[in-house]
């Protein structure tokens, strides 16, 4: 069954090719399509396009369908083109002509757009939660091991003293900036396209501001042509936010792979969190970090994939836009799983406590020796030269006494200030508004 079908049936091969995996992904959109339909029916009744009785019947039927999407019973029947068709079919089957009225003043174009935006909004909410949990783990371990020194590197050469506190705290703060970009993506998605119909509006006297309020959107996409143009643009903005998090996780994973290497030996993990070799009995491989690194490197390419899919498309709807689901939808679960696995790993990390006492790392303290001379009145360039010559002549006597006090340094990690930044960002999402709107849509009639 197709909403657009009249008297001519498409060739089966054409139907299969154009529908593709849509029905698989559309099951994920079902609860959001239902919520949008409840808001749409409510608005239609308020502007006189439905009677109060028709509205009540539609909303109660839609609420029952929503319940089926939550308990795993909702399916798209064989031969039904998409989730929108399935829901309208169920309404018509139950309510007859009243069910057929639900599509007044809208098109599948704005139906899928609003469902996508509600879906993306929900997925970002889950991602923010997962990011916050990983952030908390990194900060907790940063504080616990802030006095455990390890060498810092530039050019992969020993550079200056660092610490587990400084290292883990760096990635925690990186996640704050990543949440900042998630907030930007959330704001782009949190605009209502419903009522733009096929992209050119409607002659019905609909109230788009009302559906915006009912669905908990912050505002609406005003221009109906632009509302349709957000298909693809929204996905690309969201993909960039996901890629930013993926970049952070991939780099953190690469660090961990280096640090568990026996030549570094900075860090270890319980045996049950590593894997072995079929031939080498001593191996404890960091497979979790390697898989996270690989998956996240793929996610880093997601914005480019979406850009290529939407390249050179003029305004208006085009069928290849549906292919964006294949790329974007699985990315959310991939990223959430990666964060959950990294949280598990770092909750169980075992750092080495006396790394910097090894002679191998004595040159990491050369800047400390230079700074001590400067504090005694020696000009910096002269102090730098003296220590360099001492190193070359074998007269270098490093001091491992560290006194880093400025903001963000070894002795002053500023983890509390960083946590405050994240907390302030989280308030800007205003998730409570969405939760309240959803509860009201699902309230008994």
Which residue do the tokens 């900036």 mark?
A: 177
Task: Produce one character per residue of 309-322: b if its CB has 16 or more CB atoms within 10 Å, e if not.
Answer: bbeeeeeebeeebb
- What angle, rounded to 10 degrees, do the helices at 164-189 and 108-144 form? 160
Q: Is position 42 within any domain?
A: yes
Question: φ and ψ at 149, to 5 degrees?
Answer: -80, 150
Q: Is position 402 within any domain?
A: no
Task: Produce one character per residue of 84-94: b if its CB has 16 or more CB atoms within 10 Å, e if not.
Answer: bbbbbbbbbee
Q: Is position 180 within any domain?
A: yes
- Whether residues 417 and 315 fall in one domain: yes
C-alpha pair distances (Å), 76 with each of 14, 28, 133, 173, 362: 19, 11, 35, 43, 66
- Whether residues 127 and 237 fall in one domain: yes
Ranges of the chain whose pLDDT falls below 50: 1, 4
Report yes or no: 168 and 346 within 8 Å, Cβ to Cβ: yes
- Whether residues 244 and 377 fall in one domain: no
- Whether residues 292 and 388 fall in one domain: no
Bridging pattern class, strands 149-154 and 157-163: antiparallel
State the alpha helices, DSSP H only, in 145-205.
164-189
Distance CA 194, CA 210 (A): 10
Q: In total, how many domains does the chain have? A: 3
- Whether residues 57 and 125 fall in one domain: no
- Whether residues 375 and 245 fall in one domain: no
- Whether residues 56 and 70 fall in one domain: yes
Distance CA 107, CA 377 (A): 77
Q: Is position 64 within any domain?
A: yes
Task: Produce one character per residue of 183-203: b if its CB has 16 or more CB atoms within 10 Å, e if not.
Answer: bebbebbbbbbbbbbebebbe
Query: What tokens were used for 56?
Result: 């009540």
Q: Is position 114 within any domain?
A: no
- Whether residues 88 and 124 fall in one domain: no
- Whether residues 41 and 173 fall in one domain: no
Could you list the residue range(s) of the whole structural domain that residue 363 is in?
Answer: 359-393
Q: Is position 207 within any domain?
A: no
Q: Which H or E run contains 126?
A: helix 108-144
Candidates 340, 350, 165, 153; CA nearest to 245 is 340
- Alpha carbons within 13 angstroms on the beta-carbon side of residue 367 total 12
Question: φ and ψ at 308, to 5 degrees?
Answer: -65, -40
Distance CA 234, CA 246 (A): 18
- Whether residues 48 and 179 fall in one domain: no
Q: Is position 17 within any domain?
A: yes
The enclosing domain of 84 has a CATH number of 1.10.275.10
Q: Is position 39 within any domain?
A: yes
- Give 23's contacts (C-beta < 8 A, 6+ positions apart): 76, 80, 81, 82, 83
Q: Which H or E run contains 140?
A: helix 108-144
- 3-state SS, residue 411: coil
- Whether residues 269 and 150 fall in one domain: yes
- Whether residues 231 and 378 fall in one domain: no
Distance CA 232, CA 365 (A): 52
């Amino acid at each position: 069954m197709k909403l657009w079908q009249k008297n001519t049936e498409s060739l089966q091969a054409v139907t299969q090719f154009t529908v593709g995996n849509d029905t698989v992904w559309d099951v994920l959109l079902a609860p959001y399509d239902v919520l949008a339909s409840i808001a749409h029916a409510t608005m239609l009744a308020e502007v006189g396009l439905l009677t109060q009785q028709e509205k009540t019947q539609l909303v109660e039927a839609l609420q029952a369908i929503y319940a089926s999407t939550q308990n795993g019973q909702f399916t798209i029947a064989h031969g039904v083109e998409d989730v929108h068709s399935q829901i309208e079919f169920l309404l018509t089957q139950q309510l007859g002509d009243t069910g057929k009225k639900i599509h007044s003043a809208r098109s599948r174009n704005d139906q899928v757009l609003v469902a996508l935006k509600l879906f993306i909004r929900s997925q970002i909410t889950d991602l923010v939660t997962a990011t916050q949990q990983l952030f908390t783990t990194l900060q907790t371990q940063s504080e616990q091991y802030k006095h455990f020194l390890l060498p810092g590197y530039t050019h992969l050469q020993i550079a200056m003293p660092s610490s587990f506190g400084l290292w883990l705290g760096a990635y925690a703060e990186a996640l704050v900036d990543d949440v900042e970009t998630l907030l930007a993506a959330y704001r782009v998605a949190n605009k209502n396209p419903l009522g733009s119909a096929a992209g050119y509006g409607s002659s019905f006297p609909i109230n788009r501001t009302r559906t915006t309020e009912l669905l908990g959107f912050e505002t609406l996409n005003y221009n109906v042509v632009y509302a349709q143009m957000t298909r693809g643009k929204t996905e690309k903005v969201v993909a960039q936010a996901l890629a930013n998090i993926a970049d952070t996780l991939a780099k953190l994973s690469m660090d961990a792979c280096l640090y568990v290497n026996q030549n570094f030996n900075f860090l270890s993990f319980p045996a049950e969190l590593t894997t072995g070799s079929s031939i080498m009995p001593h191996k404890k491989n960091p497979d979790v970090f390697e898989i996270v690194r690989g998956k996240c490197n793929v996610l880093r390419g997601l914005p480019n994939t979406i850009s290529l899919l939407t390249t050179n498309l003029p305004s208006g709807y085009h069928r290849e836009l549906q292919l964006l689901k294949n790329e974007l939808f699985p990315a959310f679960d991939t990223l959430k799983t990666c964060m959950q696995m990294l949280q598990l790993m770092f909750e169980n990390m075992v750092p080495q406590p006396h790394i910097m006492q090894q002679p191998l790392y004595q040159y990491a303290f050369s800047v400390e020796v230079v700074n001590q001379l400067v504090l005694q009145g020696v000009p910096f360039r002269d102090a730098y030269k003296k220590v360099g010559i001492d190193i070359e002549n074998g007269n270098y006597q490093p001091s491992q006494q560290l006194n880093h006090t400025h903001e963000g340094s070894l002795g002053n990690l500023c983890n509390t200030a960083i946590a405050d930044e994240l907390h302030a960002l989280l308030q800007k999402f205003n998730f409570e508004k969405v939760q309240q709107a959803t509860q009201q849509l699902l309230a008994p009639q």
